[in-house]
Chain A
Amino acid sequence: MLTVEEKHKIDHEISLVPSPKNACIEALKIVQQNHGWVSDESLQDVANYVGMSPAELDSVATFYNLIFRRPVGRHVILVCDSISCWVMGYEGIRDSLSEKLNIKYGQTTEDGRFTLLPNCCLGTCDRAPALMIDNDLYRDLTVEQLDEILEKYT
């Protein structure tokens, strides 16, 4: 069930476009912001609300890298794996994170704190290697900084 607040926000997005369907990505974003991901149930709810079939909406949802169709942890770590970060040696960062958190790409820590994902270029190539945790960007990274960064997220 969509909450009253979610419906209110989705209604606003619908008001800006010719057809409710045109607001479907915004609606998915709104639901994901609330729940962290888009469950099958949420997908159905959004589909009904904007007048699409669940299959049609899922074809949109699964197209985009950052609509999560599986549960994620409280914080999502996105490690840039594109060219400049690779040239600058991002694998050390990736491997160290994987070891510290005891998870691989696509996995979530047992306590539900972190999910680790690879990500395309974050657009900060002059300060590679870089990663994002939730809305926060970290750059010019060294392995030594990781513990302090991870501690900020509970």
Chain B
Amino acid sequence: MEKPLTQHIVPGRAPLSLKQYEQVGGYQSVRKILKEMAPADVQNLVKASDLRGRGGAGFNTGLKWSFVPMGSEAAKPKYLVANADEMEPGTFKDRVLLEGNPHQLIEGMIVAAYAIDASISYIFMRWAYKVAAREIMKAIDEAYEAGYLGENILGSGFSLDMHLHTGVGRYMCGEETALLNALEGKRANPRAKPPFPQVSGLFGKPTIVNNVETLCCLPHIINNGAEWFKGLSKTGDAGTKLYGISGRVKTPGCWELPMGTTIRELIEEHGGGMQDGYLFKGLLPGGASTDFLVEEHLDLPMDYTAIQAAGSRMGTGTMIILDDQTCPVGFVHNLQHFFAQESCGFCTPCREGLPWVEKILQAIDKGEGKPEHLLTLDFHTKYLGPGNTFCALAPGAMEPLQSALKYFREDFERHIHEHHCPWSKAKVWQPSI
């Protein structure tokens, strides 16, 4: 089984230095594109590979690039930003790539920057990734020294600068337009679209924001071609995927596997099955802002298409398991506390609605819920849904809530009728001490 993105990552071992990385074929894609390919060729190849954004939205990467104005008339400088903010609860896949093989990311960023003719690039990384920041800084320095970054890369005439920017903590920074505001030294509120960042992004210039895992796929697509990349998958969505599991399985972790590996295989073979004494009750397939899936979905392939057809989203592909000894109301309460806290407060439904939802869940969790509370939660899932808010944060927050109300409604009702949490008292989620 091919694992292109993680083949050189050994947990507990320092990442490859630039020299070591070159010895295993590193930076070959940069040499190839600079010598043989025009930016349009790179765009077309990546479009043909069907690479879809690994940050969760799943948009075709080459198509996203194609909206960037090209040619001598295009506004300059253009920017490429690697989104390494990874703050979605339950998500830890980009950390593996950042800490494990920083040169692969840099190589991918050079490919992406070349494809859109960007001359300045940023890695926007969350503050908590201290080891990753150290390794990335080291790798950027090495890449400059070797001539892969800076002026006139390998004598090609193409130039690219790269900076690491570490954030100061706010989930909103993962949203691409909010990220750009943060990079500009502003509050990370999202921006109105259009104009899209491809046309008017960082400092008003054309900008592409791509996820870390997406960028790490690029060198391999350049080296091996679009058909090879599609062939890595078990289903119609191309490539491999970094999947992860957290929660009460025997061996939680992160694994690169063919796209379309089934949920059951992930949990049972890679996650080692449920811990003794715990039964599977449900899961969030791709982070905190995705809809619950349950037992009946276990044989679905984890890809964009199948998970969407089942009413959820693959999101980041890092799943969180709900076990039978964890209260689903407490689970959702924890999530809504997070979303309410991380709302930027810019638009009213999100700023006012999420704390209301949190308050109701807290009441239900504490045994103070009333039957009409469920209706209030139901209407929030509509009013905070897509189209009613400025960005995707509140609709994302509603995904686990609406699906919990669907699959675990009885558990909500039991809290209300029995006036206490049927799970142990210790399992009532309490945000404060």
Q: Which residue of B lies closest to A116 (CB)?
A: B433
Which chain B residues lie closer than 8 Å to A150 at the CB level?
A: none
Chain B: interface secondary structure? loop
Binary contact readout B259-296 vs A (1 if CB under 8 angstroms, 0 otherwise): 00000000000000000000000000000100000000
Binary contact readout A122-139 vs B (1 if CB under 8 angstroms, 0 otherwise): 111111100010011100
Asked whether B203 is an interface residue with its Cβ less than 8 Å from the other chain, the reply is: yes
Chain A residues bordering chain B, tally (CB within 8 A): 46
Decide: B92 and A63 in contact? CB cutoff 8 A: no
Which chain A residues lie closer than 8 Å to B344 at the CB level?
A: 63
Asked whether B185 is an interface residue with its Cβ less than 8 Å from the other chain, the reply is: yes
Asked whether A118 is an interface residue with its Cβ less than 8 Å from the other chain, the reply is: yes
Which chain B residues lie closer than 8 Å to A91 at the CB level?
A: 426, 430
Decide: B168 and A64 in contact? CB cutoff 8 A: yes
Which chain A residues lie closer than 8 Å to B323 at the CB level?
A: 87
Decide: A83 and B95 in contact? CB cutoff 8 A: no
Contact A126:B246 (CB < 8 A) given known A83-B338, A86-B429:
yes
- Within A1-60, the residues touching B (CB, 8 Å) are 16-18, 21-26, 28-29, 59-60
Asked whether B322 is an interface residue with its Cβ less than 8 Å from the other chain, the reply is: yes
A87, B170: Cα distance in complex, Å: 22
Partner of A87, one of B129, B322, B431, B432: B322
Partner of A120, one of B89, B92, B95: B89
Which chain B residues lie closer than 8 Å to A21 at the CB level?
A: 185
Query: Which segment of B192-200, B227-235, B248-256, B302-310 sits at the interface?
Result: B248-256
A111, B330: Cα distance in complex, Å: 36
- Within A93-124, the residues touching B (CB, 8 Å) are 94-95, 98, 104-105, 118-124
Binary contact readout B323-360 vs A (1 if CB under 8 angstroms, 0 otherwise): 10010001100110010011010000000000000000
Asked whether B43 is an interface residue with its Cβ less than 8 Å from the other chain, the reply is: no
Which chain A residues lie closer than 8 Å to B252 at the CB level?
A: 125-128
Contact A128:B188 (CB < 8 A) given known A84-B320, A123-B91, A135-B130:
no
Asked whether B401 is an interface residue with its Cβ less than 8 Å from the other chain, the reply is: no
Decide: B185 and A121 in contact? CB cutoff 8 A: no
Chain B residues bordering chain A, tally (CB within 8 A): 57
Q: How far is the CB of A12 from chain B (nearest CB, A)?
A: 11
Partner of A122, one of B128, B171, B245, B426: B128
Decide: B87 and A123 in contact? CB cutoff 8 A: yes
Contact A83:B331 (CB < 8 A) given known A66-B127, A94-B433:
yes
Asked whether B35 is an interface residue with its Cβ less than 8 Å from the other chain, the reply is: no
Asked whether B187 is an interface residue with its Cβ less than 8 Å from the other chain, the reply is: yes
Asked whether B318 is an interface residue with its Cβ less than 8 Å from the other chain, the reply is: yes
A91, B424: Cα distance in complex, Å: 13
Asked whether A65 is an interface residue with its Cβ less than 8 Å from the other chain, the reply is: yes
Partner of A123, one of B129, B185, B322, B426: B129
Q: Which residues from chain B sit less than 8 Å from chain A, CB to CB?
A: 86-92, 94-95, 126-131, 163, 167-171, 182, 184-188, 203, 244-248, 252-254, 288, 318, 320-323, 326, 330-331, 334-335, 338, 341-342, 344, 426, 429-433
| CB-based closest 10 A-B pairs | A125-B246, A65-B169, A126-B252, A82-B89, A84-B246, A66-B169, A64-B168, A121-B89, A22-B185, A63-B187
